[in-house]
Amino acid sequence: MRVEISSALLERILALAAADANEICGLLLGAPGRIEAILPAANVAADPARHFELDPSVLIAAHRATRSGGAMILGHYHSHPSGVAAPSPTDAACAAPDGSLWMIVAQDKATLWRAGPDTVVNATFTKIHLDSR
């Protein structure tokens, strides 16, 4: 599977991550197979240097906009400032196995994953080809 994103939009996400020592986060918006916009959100986690939690008001507003005909929420992005651009054990423990997209940014690199169910408790992640143009 492939998901498209404009190079300008991908560069914006990378720049947001590079500008902050804490984990950054936001929503990925668009249509199946295409990320068309992002909605940055404050990281309201108790320890934003090591974890992320999207500002609930941003998430609620995005769901309302979707129901009113706005862009679909495809998933979210977040950074691993001192890690790698791959899901961590914490990501797997916190992810809903709902098929949503997870873009993870680290070391000036972005990777895309789909969260799916495993046979026990945590989500498993399948790597998705991110096609930037």
Domain of 126, CATH number, reads 3.40.140.10
Measured CA angle at 99 (ends 94, 104), to 5 deg: 60
Total number of domains constituting the chain: 1
**Residues in CB range of 50: below 8 A, 6 or more apart:** 23
Task: Report the pLDDT value the prediction gives residue 1, as an integer from 0 to 100.
Answer: 81
Per residue in 116-127, pLDDT (tens digit) is 876 556 678 999
pLDDT digits (tens, 9 = 90+) for 39-52: 999 999 999 999 99
pLDDT tens for 74-92 read 999 999 998 899 999 899 8
Q: What's the number of CA atoms in the CB half-sphere (13 Å) around residue 120?
A: 4
How does residue 131 score in pLDDT terms, banded at 50, 70 and 90? very high
CA distances in angstroms from 125 to 92, 99, 122, listed in the order given: 8, 9, 10
The boundaries of the domain holding residue 80 are 2-132
In this prediction the pTM is: 0.94
